[in-house]
Amino acid sequence: METINTTLLIVGGGPGGYVAGIRAGQLGIPAIVVEGANPGGTCLNIGCIPSKALIYAADEYHKAATYAAQESPLGISVESPRIDLERTVAWKDGIVKRLTGGVGLLLKKQGVRVVHGWARVLDGKTVEVEADGQETVRIRCEHLLLASGSQAVELPFMPFGGPVISSTEALSQDSVPRRLVVVGAGYIGLELGTAYRKLGSQVTVVEAAERILPAYDAELVKPVAKSLERLGVELRLATSVLGMEGERVKVRDASGVEAYLEADKVLVAVGRKPATTGWGLENLMLDMAGRAIRVDEQCRTSMRNVWAIGDLTGEPMLAHRAMAQGEMVAEIIAGKRRWFQPAAIPAVCYTDPEIVVAGMSPSEAQAAGIDAIQASFPFSANGRAMTIEGTDGFVRVVARKDNHLILGWQAVGVGVSELAAGFTQSIELGAQLEDVARTIHAHPTLGEAVQEAALRALGHALHI
């Protein structure tokens, strides 16, 4: 058996793992990344990127279909639009291939070796890698970084297979299912459910909670709920799934009434869990936090020189969190003084319309005992929003009442995901309401609503 020695061994080539590898290479740290599939992990291959590609394609098709069905106020007319989902998926796969290939080139550029295969951890210094049809390789290291990511949660009474699919299969269908039942009204279920409704599926969403997107502020969710109603998505809230019988999904509502939903495909989107099994993690006997690995503010585990980042360490399971952690770990190993103490981690829900949150919501500030002020500015009063037919939604700011320190931002509307960077940066830099209110914002842009929200919190909004 071949034995390789390195300073840093990274198990998992997802966003956290490959960024850690690139940064290690930049800092002159010998590093190896072990990855069983293509570099980029869930995010690039079967998650963030391909789902946004499908959402975009569905939006474009839906616009054309709408223009064909009714007179457009923009003066656009279209005849008989159609979609070839196989070509759409091939286009999506092309984007994924370019991005994963780019990651591979970046790692190579920094001298990071990628070992393709499935890792099994033997101890805190040793990993064996088995590749299909190749001899097992043993890798010895000084530092072991665990970045195995997460996997879709499977319902024990409705396992994946046949008509029951996860988000992975939902992104690679060769045709549009006539009837799609989505189990779970979180961001994954609603993003993909909305996309398939726009592609022509009859979509029913089943959610055990009493409203959609239960993890988000109720005010932010209202425009999304209205959009789902306009699109004709059926919502079965406060309803439990009992199982699958033939081509029907059996459900029970809060009053105990049972019903059957006809389905060609059933998308189960009830969450994700850390990928902790099947690769020898138990051999390390690390301290755990539920299903996740417990880490400190430097992503150190309970074993010396063993680190863990990303989804493996629990919520929030976001690619950009993993990237930031991976970069930090590489710098700590290189001797730099770093801690993972972000003031805010933004989160985006790519529904229609989009939702973005960063920092504290009004209820979170109240729960923390902070005397806070809040103010919202509606997109119905924003010129740019009018020109892109995106007047549903608003921008909201939350700040301390005593010194106007900004604690959080929330927004819902067309294209608001692009406001995330500014929201997070203002919190990270310790900005006050006056800082944002006095910053000149380009006109006409959606960003003017950010300035107006700050002005409104100060009591003198200009355009409402």
Q: What residue segments make up the domains of the chain, in order of their start?
A: 3-46+89-152+273-334, 164-270, 346-458
Supply the pLDDT for residue 227. 97
Report the alpha-carbon distance of residue 54 to residue 285 in Å, rounded. 41
Cβ atoms of 27 and 331 within 8 Å: the answer is yes
Fold adopted by 3-46+89-152+273-334:
FAD/NAD(P)-binding domain (3.50.50)
Q: Which helix (H) or strand (E) holds 222?
A: helix 218-231
Report domain 164-270's class.
Answer: alpha beta
Q: Report, as ranges of residue numbers, the positions in the chain whose pLDDT lies below 70.
A: 132-133
- The domains spanning 3-46+89-152+273-334 and 164-270 adopt the same CATH topology: yes
CA dihedral 338→339→340→344, nearest 10 degrees, is -90
* 352 token code pair: 């229609």
Fold adopted by 346-458:
Enolase-like; domain 1 (3.30.390)
Q: For residue 216, give the nearest of 410, 416, 398 by alpha carbon.
A: 410
Question: Pick the catalytic residue: 62, 116, 441, 443?
Answer: 443
Give the gyration radius of the chain's Cα atoms: 24
Which residue numbers belong to the known binding site? 52, 184-191, 207, 271, 311, 317-320
Supply the pLDDT for residue 111. 97
CA dihedral 331→335→340→346, nearest 10 degrees, is -20
Supply the pLDDT for residue 72. 84
Residue 463 is a catalytic residue? no
Which residue numbers belong to the known binding site for FAD? 52, 311, 317-320
- H-state helical runs in 300-389: 319-333, 362-367, 383-387
Report the alpha-carbon distance of residue 97 to residue 99 in Å, rounded. 5
Q: For residue 342, give the nearest of 457, 452, 428, 220 by alpha carbon.
A: 428
Q: For residue 451, give the nearest of 413, 373, 395 by alpha carbon.
A: 395
> Angle between the 85-109 and 48-69 helix axes, to the nearest 10 degrees?
150
Supply the pLDDT for residue 71. 82
pLDDT digits (tens, 9 = 90+) for 77-128: 888 899 999 999 999 999 999 999 999 999 999 999 999 999 999 999 999 9
Report the alpha-carbon distance of residue 223 to residue 380 in Å, rounded. 12
Supply the pLDDT for residue 10. 98
Cross-strand partners of 356:
348, 411
Which residue numbers belong to the known binding site for NAD(+)? 184-191, 207, 271
Report the alpha-carbon distance of residue 16 to residue 324 in Å, rounded. 7
pLDDT digits (tens, 9 = 90+) for 347-367: 999 999 999 999 999 999 999
